[in-house]
Chains A and B, each alone.
Chain A
């Protein structure tokens, strides 16, 4: 069993604030790191897939970085909006299966 940890567990920010969360994973047996956004009453939605050390991905106001040597990924949200409120999941793929973290629950207060 592979331990994927996310921090913080939950976060409340004001609209317009920028924020970031961390995903830690074992650097051995690493194949890919996935980020998902999961809004209440909806299905998890894929945000990014990253495979190479130093990878940076961006989608609008959301970006992510990857450090496979030390086993962590950061997700950044610039200028948070209420519609960014969701649980953000990361998942490490070893080449055999996905291992998900428990997520960071983000609430953006208008």
Chain B
């Protein structure tokens, strides 16, 4: 079975721009979660989707949004980028909510 894939792997943007990251879960997995990791911080939960519905949202500003499609693929969007948004963004999928998560390789975003 193919693992979780994320595109793009690396991205450079400037302040004020917006960015969309994509995540394709393991086939059959219906839950997709997004995390942000910055130096010195643990993985910070962004949001979780299940069956195209956002089930949980972390403590991030409204500039961070996401969605899930009927094939369980998910996208995450960050508008009006700030320097502090530079981070590794990880996507994880699981069969259903609350179960073991399987992580993708991440998208490393650099905001200049």
Binding site for B on A (CB under 8 A): 1, 4, 31-32, 34, 36, 42-46, 49, 89, 91, 93, 95-103
A44 to B42, CA, bound (A): 12
A91 to B41, CA, bound (A): 13
Binding site for A on B (CB under 8 A): 3-4, 33, 35, 40-45, 48, 56, 58-59, 90, 92, 98-106
**Set of chain B residues within 8 Å of A100, measured between Cβ atoms:** 35, 42-45
Of A42, A43, A93, A96, chain B has the most CB atoms within 10 Å of the CB of A43
Contact A102 B41 (CB under 8 A): yes
Q: What distance in Å separates the Cβ of A100 from its nearest Cβ neighbour in chain B?
A: 4
Contacts A/B (CB < 8 Å), 17 sampled = A31-B98, A32-B98, A34-B100, A36-B103, A43-B3, A43-B90, A46-B100, A46-B101, A49-B99, A95-B98, A96-B56, A97-B48, A98-B43, A98-B45, A99-B45, A100-B45, A102-B41
A1, A44, A93: the one contacting B90 at CB < 8 Å is: A44
Contact A97 B45 (CB under 8 A): yes
Contact A4 B104 (CB under 8 A): no
Total inter-chain residue pairs, C-beta < 8 Å:
51
A91, A97, A101, A102: the one contacting B56 at CB < 8 Å is: A97
**Set of chain B residues within 8 Å of A93, measured between Cβ atoms:** 98
Contact A4 B42 (CB under 8 A): yes
**Set of chain B residues within 8 Å of A4, measured between Cβ atoms:** 42
**Set of chain A residues within 8 Å of B4, measured between Cβ atoms:** 43
A-B contacts besides A4-B42, A43-B3, A43-B103, 18 pairs, CB < 8 Å: A34-B101, A43-B4, A43-B90, A43-B105, A44-B90, A44-B92, A44-B103, A49-B99, A89-B42, A89-B43, A91-B43, A95-B98, A97-B45, A97-B48, A98-B45, A99-B45, A102-B42, A103-B42
A88 to B106, CA, bound (A): 17
**Set of chain A residues within 8 Å of B40, measured between Cβ atoms:** 102
A16 to B51, CA, bound (A): 46
**Set of chain A residues within 8 Å of B103, measured between Cβ atoms:** 36, 43-45
